[in-house]
Amino acid sequence: MRIVLLGAPGSGKGTQAALMVERLGIPHISTGALLRNAAKRGTELGLKAKSIIDRGELVPDEIMSDMIEERLGREDVADGFILDGYPRNLAQAKSLDTMLERLNQPTNEAIQIDVDLDQLVKRIARRAKKEGRSDDTEEVVRNRMRVYHEQTAPVIDYYADRGLLSHVLGDGEVEEVLERILSVLSVNQTST
Ligand code: AP5
């Protein structure tokens, strides 16, 4: 199963993807995590990305497309994957489709996790205290939300137009949200 997870910053994409890995047995690919790891390792790409991430802007499409192409070329995605953080604008959505068509492995499902703004702000503020992620400051979060609404939200319609989109309510306990996602995917919720 090839799944794209969509949702605003703090909506729970990373949290849900990590749980879905255990239930679906396919890898979680988070472009945010790939970029943060590259920054931690101090690679040229990582350092360039860090200054962009710390402003809450999007890393250029060519860099992201190379990164995703490399990742989707690995063996562990043979049975599918859960994409979290990509695509993030229409150009990336089209580029992903082209890439997957070439591999004869089109996206099966796009899931939009819906959470209201108050809740998102609370979650990110909590994480900021706990983890101190450099892009979780108030000013940067405001910019991430703006970028999300301007550039990423149109991707929701992109998948809706292709008949691939489902909305899932992201409020409540993480396990509840997971069950909603598995139900949309028609995965047996009692399976391990
Ligand atoms: P990325 O890492 O993708 O960040 P994001 O989309 O802003 O998402 P977050 O990680 O903030 O939230 P999430 O939805 O994963 O929620 P989470 O599970 O963490 O990207 C970071 C940056 O990298 C971007 O701004 C950009 O600069 C760059 N980038 C990445 N991809 C790119 C791309 N494709 N193109 C260009 N640039 C790119 O949950 C949030 C918090 O809430 C956690 O503390 C969690 O414990 C908590 N939580 C989760 N679920 C619940 C729940 N049900 N109840 C209560 N708390 C919950």
Which residues contact residue 141 at a Cβ distance below 8 angstroms, ignoring those fewer than 6 apart?
A: 9, 56, 121, 124, 135
pLDDT for residue 191: 45
Is the confidence at residue 72, as pLDDT, over 70? yes
pLDDT for residue 187: 76
DSSP 7-57: E-TTSSHHHHHHHHHHHH---EEEHHHHHHHHHHHT-HHHHHHHHHHTTT-
Q: Return the closest-CA partner of residue 83 out of 28, 32, 10.
A: 28
Is the confidence at residue 190, as pLDDT, over 70? no
In a domain? residue 139:
yes
CATH number for the domain spanning 49: value is 3.40.50.300
Pocket of ligand 1 (CB under 6 A): 7, 9-15, 31-32, 35, 52-53, 56-59, 64, 85-86, 88, 92, 123, 127, 135, 144, 172, 174, 177
Which residues contact residue 116 at a Cβ distance below 8 angstroms, ignoring those fewer than 6 apart?
A: 171
* Total of domains in the chain: 1
Is the confidence at residue 142, as pLDDT, over 90? yes
Query: Using one digit for the tens of pLDDT, what is the confidence trace for 96-136?
Result: 999 999 999 999 999 999 999 999 999 999 999 999 999 99
For residue 162, indicate whether it is catalytic: no
pLDDT for residue 178: 98
Is the confidence at residue 12, as pLDDT, over 80? yes
pTM score, whole prediction: 0.96
In a domain? residue 152:
yes
Tell me the C-alpha distance between 6 and 13, whole Å: 7
Tell me the C-alpha distance between 16 and 142, whole Å: 23
In a domain? residue 190:
no
Query: Using one digit for the tens of pLDDT, what is the confidence trace for 162-186?
Result: 999 999 999 999 999 999 999 999 9
